[in-house]
Chain A
Amino acid sequence: MLARSRPSSLPWLPKDAIPSPHSPTRFTLAVKDNIATADGHTTTTCGSPFLSNYRSPFEATIVSQLRARGGRVVGKTNLDEFGMGSHSVHSAFGAVAQDSPEQLAGDVKALRSAGGSSGGSAVSVLLGEADVALGTDTGGSVRLPAAYCGVVGFKPSYGMLSRFGVVPYANSLDTVGFLAREVRPIRELIVGDGTTQGLWAEHDPNDPTSLTPSARKRCARSRQFYSPSQSPDPSILNGLRLGLPLEYNIHELSPTIRDAWSRAASLLQSHFSARIIPVSLPSTRHALSAYYVIAPAEASSNLAKYDGIRYGVRDTSVENDAAADGVLYASSRGKGFGPEVRRRILLGAYTLSSKAMDNYFLQAQRVRRLVRRDFDRVFALPNPLVDPDQQVFDLSDLPEGTIMEDKWGPEEVDFLLCPTAPTLAPTLGEVMEGGSPVDEYVNDVFTVPASLAGLPAASVPMPVEGEGEGKTAGLQLIGQYWDDARLLAVAEVIREILRG
């Protein structure tokens, strides 16, 4: 039941495990177990029975990059199988929780969810076992655990950090993300700290979706804070336009979170001269559905390789008549995957089938484009990956009642400010005995849009009052594409302000 990743125990690793071949240790690093490490003794399991003893012959680019910067890998962290889940309970190694069972006298159901799927990574930084943890964020898998555990989570622009060596869940959405207790270590890794180069500038020729060096430079040209010398201070908020998406005020949003969100916005406005501007993202309501079509579709394809022959255990109890019907695989795959992965593979296989393709997969791709358009319309900065001609918007496309700044249209913003999750961390009891899988999917409603659009987003702890007094929720900042450096600078300032 207990998380293999509970960082208080990293039993599979000797204490002084992996000496960095590159540079002296400057920080400890935990690595989500769907990111390949190849040090001779760690496995890369993805939380799946299929890979329970899989040792990767190669190391993920991001791990090498961090070790070159002084990161010492102290362990691999538990996760939802292949990154599919919002509470890190769907793992072959048991569920992750943010409290230790001793605290609650063994009452497992009362343990609080660490969020998912990078739950193990969030807990490892929460408890101080690692300074920085690597996670992966496909639809919120770094930001949600950060929000639940009260730490910082960052998902970069798609194409900034190499995915080579990251076992894919949904390639077009997957990003490598960081978790830490503060924003600063993350910002210094992305932007550079004066002594090491920022990760933002490093192209990986092994990842075909990694932006080329020239594209990186072109994108960064119209962006600020990519120079390590620019250190943020609260004056950054002066006149900064922060958009509150009206569509994020959904009925599933708990009042506690809603209050904390509006309090945080008021504070930034009244004390730090930020401008709070209501904005409209009309495609939001469809984004979650689109995500749960696209991601499972890609997952069903990516996971086809786990067939019980080269990976996992082959089910030999059924007759080997593979030549006729492929039963050889069906049984092994059926037994090898956990229920949540099975559900998503079936979902994906259906939405890609020739009869459903048009109504689901293609429709979802159209929604995805609309979601990105929504973002491009509200952000003041243009999207460097989109033709400028396509970023001209017609006022007649806007929903009724949109507030106009002037005759040219509604006011544009620098960042969006919204909650990371609609509720505080639930208990494992609530998660596991709760309603349908769809209830779990709702947790991703605020994080999925940025993933669909490939935008950078960060979650910082936000104190709550009233019912959850003393606890923290996550406050999410979403920025325009490749505005990662400024986003982290603003997040760093807001993190300080909200600390109180």
Chain B
Amino acid sequence: MGRIPTAELSRYLLYGQLSRRGCLRGGITRISTTSALRQSRFFSTQIDTPAGAAPANVPLTPLRKELKEQAKALKASGKKKKKNSDNQTVPGWELTVGIEIHAQLNTARKLFSPAATSFNDTPNSHVALFDVAMPGSQPLFQAETLIPAVRAALALNCTIQPISRFDRKHYFHWDQPAGYQITQYYHPFARDGRVMLYARDGIAAEDGECIEIGIRQIQMEQDTAKTTAVPGNVHWLDFNRVGVPLIEIITLPEIHHPATAAALVRKVQMLLNSVDACVSGMETGGLRADINVSVRRVQDIATGKLGTRTEIKNLSSFKAVEDAIIAERDRQIAILEAGGVVLGETRGWSLGNTETRRLRGKEGEVDYRYMPDPDLGPVVIGEDLVQHLKGTLGVLPDAEIDELIELYGLTTKDAMSLIQLDNGARIQYFYNVLDSLEERLRAAGSASPNSDSPAGQRHALLAANWCLHELGKLTEVSADLGMTPDGECNVPSVDLAAILFHLHRREITAKVAKELLWAVFRGQIPRGKVTQAIEADDLWFNELSEQDYAELADKVVEGEDKVLAEFLRFKQGKIKAYPQGKLMFLVGKIMRAGPEGRMDPESAKRVLRDRIEHVYLPHMEGQ
């Protein structure tokens, strides 16, 4: 199930180099992007912060009263904010959305210069002559950027074009030294793809179990420089980012519900991560979406003509995609219902707003004057490369989720989480833990590690739960797991596997297992020394014997005749439900009465039930 990292694959394909560590799987460490709070990468212009919006001398109103009045006013105006899930359609209207997604490719070099791609390095330290458009410098296409790009296109089921070309898109901005961006406008490298969205991907209920969204094209293009606004209306530019390769994914206008649009963006991110095509997700700014929104009356659908569309730029979260579409749809419908006309314009959206805002109108529209770049020849992508990349693509997320659900018995929600966490590294970690755990189980000769059997499912499910939930608790406080793309973190997979091995064999209690996990996470147990640590602190689960449990039970039920009478009533059919609560009450008493750390509530429960059934009740009946 291992995936070949893009960097390694491109070294192999382009330069014939194989990892010296002997096999293509794993082993490549990349700079972790999780630790640093990166600045949002796509805000090329500064963000305007409204100057001191402090209310001036407003008479003080009690908050409760204020809230009440606001709610009342909302109700009166009929504008009460609906939950998004109840707000996917407007009767009488059809919404149409097309999305453009920009994603940063996972490559070592820039698109047209051998300068390295980097994050958070010293600003302006990875800049080639061409990156800053020095007079007389020329673009040098870096063939290795094609590998993640083609993988991304294949994951999105596109047809790779044998010949594609680069065009210049002209506009002036300080973050773009050449005065144009090189992109693929006339001849993109991939066309005609599609993405399947299922209910579990979070599509609108109106779209049913599954829906297919078409991809018009994918093009490669250059990123711009990073602008950092500093006080005093000064902007700092970091040209490390200029020329970094991006892909732009353009969907067909086939989306009709806001939630489905957000699901599509999420799904695209998941697919790109799964083939290691992109460096980071939306939350870290490596992915950004522009959306095109139009509405038309239901009776106009037959005409086949879409309404006038507006474009909302630079959305940087899934929620923003959904919220912005709802807001823009409602704005357009309100205009049309009032007899107005929707203007084709570019609009913006800030998180937390309820309305999109106008950025520029059609008359202010930039004519990009696209021109084929006269320095760059066509890009020829051979069928052999495409076939090779197809063959090494690995299992795509949908197949993997199905497998996790069917084979290991995970819930859909847990399977999706496992796949999406840490940009796809968490699932890799899970496989590492599972491999290690199964190896130990095999070596110990206990429980068939065959995952197909119910017993196998049990240990896999255990591993999944721990990789997801118990590991998740570690980071609730503050620290970071330090998860690497090949699935290792501050809790080495072998150590978690060791903990789970003992837990699965009931050699330690769940409580001890959790304490061990913390100790490993904090570095208190050296790598590979979990078993020794258990040994040293004598944490083994030295369980009471059946006899001990029985004696404890006998002691505990003394004076609890009223409770036991309930069981009798159940036995005699006087009450329908088994008095589970009463049983657990007694189990609790046993647990408190016995020695700590040597008891398992399950065992206590089993023995107690047995005693009630075969000893206490016959005894009571006999009285």
What is the interface of chain A, defined by CB distance below 8 A to chain B?
35-36, 44, 46, 51, 54, 56-58, 60, 163-168, 170-172, 205-209, 297-298, 300-301, 303-305, 307, 309-311, 322-323, 326, 329, 349, 352-354, 357, 361
Contacts and interface: CB of A to CB of B under 8 A. Distances in A.
B134 A56 contact: yes
Interface string B375-409: 11100000000000000000000000000000000
B138 A208 contact: yes
B232 to A, nearest CB: 13
A326 B172 CA distance: 7
A312 to B, nearest CB: 12
A172 B172 contact: no
B134 A58 contact: yes
A172 B373 CA distance: 9
9 contacts: A60-B136, A167-B136, A170-B374, A208-B138, A208-B140, A208-B141, A208-B377, A209-B377, A300-B170
A326 B171 CA distance: 9
B133 A309 contact: no
B367 A354 contact: yes
A325 to B, nearest CB: 8
Q: How large is the interface on B (under 10, 10 to 19, 20 to 34, 35 or more residues)?
A: 20 to 34
Contacts of A168: 136, 375
Interface string B345-385: 00000000000000000000001011100111100000000
B174 interface: yes
Contacts of B180: 301, 304
A304 B371 CA distance: 13
Interface in B171-217: 172-174, 177-180
A323 B359 CA distance: 11
B234 to A, nearest CB: 12
B90 interface: no
Given A171-B374, A208-B377, A304-B180, 20 more contacts: A44-B136, A58-B129, A58-B137, A60-B136, A163-B138, A164-B136, A165-B136, A168-B375, A171-B375, A297-B371, A300-B170, A301-B170, A301-B179, A304-B178, A305-B179, A307-B172, A307-B179, A323-B46, A353-B367, A354-B367
Q: Chain B's interface: helix, strand, loop or mixed, by majority?
A: loop
Contacts of A58: 129, 134, 136-137
A44 B135 contact: yes
B370 A56 contact: no
B168 interface: yes
Contacts of A36: 135-136
Contacts of B139: 208
A164 B172 CA distance: 25
B178 A172 contact: no
B45 interface: yes
B135 A46 contact: yes
A206 B374 contact: no
Contacts of B172: 304, 307, 326, 329
A301 B375 CA distance: 12
For B129, B135, B370, the residue with the greatest tally of chain A CB atoms inside 10 Å of its CB is: B135
Given A57-B129, A168-B136, A353-B369, A208 B375 contact: yes
A329 B177 CA distance: 12
Given A51-B135, A208-B139, A326-B172, A305 B178 contact: yes
Interface string B143-180: 00000000000000000000000001010111001111
A30 B135 CA distance: 20
Nearest to A354: B367
Given A208-B376, A304-B180, A56 B136 contact: yes
Contacts of B179: 301, 303-305, 307
A172 B374 contact: yes
A285 B178 CA distance: 34
Given A58-B129, A322-B174, A349 B136 contact: no
Nearest to A54: B135
A206 B128 CA distance: 12
Contact of B371 (A205, A326, A361): A361
A275 B439 CA distance: 88
Contacts of A326: 172-173
Nearest to A163: B138
Contacts of B375: 168, 171, 208-209
B265 to A, nearest CB: 27
Contacts of B370: 352, 357
Nearest to B168: A301
Contacts of A209: 138, 375, 377
B170 A56 contact: no
Contacts of B174: 309, 322
B138 A207 contact: yes
Given A58-B129, A301-B170, A352-B370, A166 B140 contact: no
B427 to A, nearest CB: 41
A166 B371 contact: no
Contacts of A163: 138
A207 B377 CA distance: 11
Contacts of B135: 36, 44, 46, 51, 54, 56, 167, 305, 311
A167 B520 CA distance: 60
Given A208-B377, A305-B177, A298 B136 contact: no
A302 to B, nearest CB: 9
Contacts of A298: 371, 374
Nearest to B369: A352
Given A304-B172, A309-B174, A166 B374 contact: no
Contacts of A297: 371
Contact of A349 (B133, B369, B377): B369
A46 B139 CA distance: 21
Nearest 10 CB-CB pairings of A with B: A304-B179, A352-B369, A172-B374, A171-B374, A165-B136, A167-B135, A305-B133, A36-B136, A329-B172, A167-B136
Contacts of A165: 136
For B45, B132, B133, B138, the residue with the greatest tally of chain A CB atoms inside 10 Å of its CB is: B138
Contacts of B376: 208
Contacts of A206: 138, 140
A208 B375 CA distance: 6
Given A46-B135, A51-B135, A208-B140, A323 B45 contact: yes
Contacts of A300: 170, 369
Contacts of B369: 300-301, 349, 352-354, 357
A305 B370 CA distance: 16
A165 B136 CA distance: 4
B362 to A, nearest CB: 13
A56 B170 CA distance: 25
A58 B374 CA distance: 22
A311 B177 CA distance: 11
A208 B143 CA distance: 13
Contacts of A310: 132, 177
A353 B368 CA distance: 7
Contacts of A46: 135
B377 to A, nearest CB: 7
Nearest to A294: B374
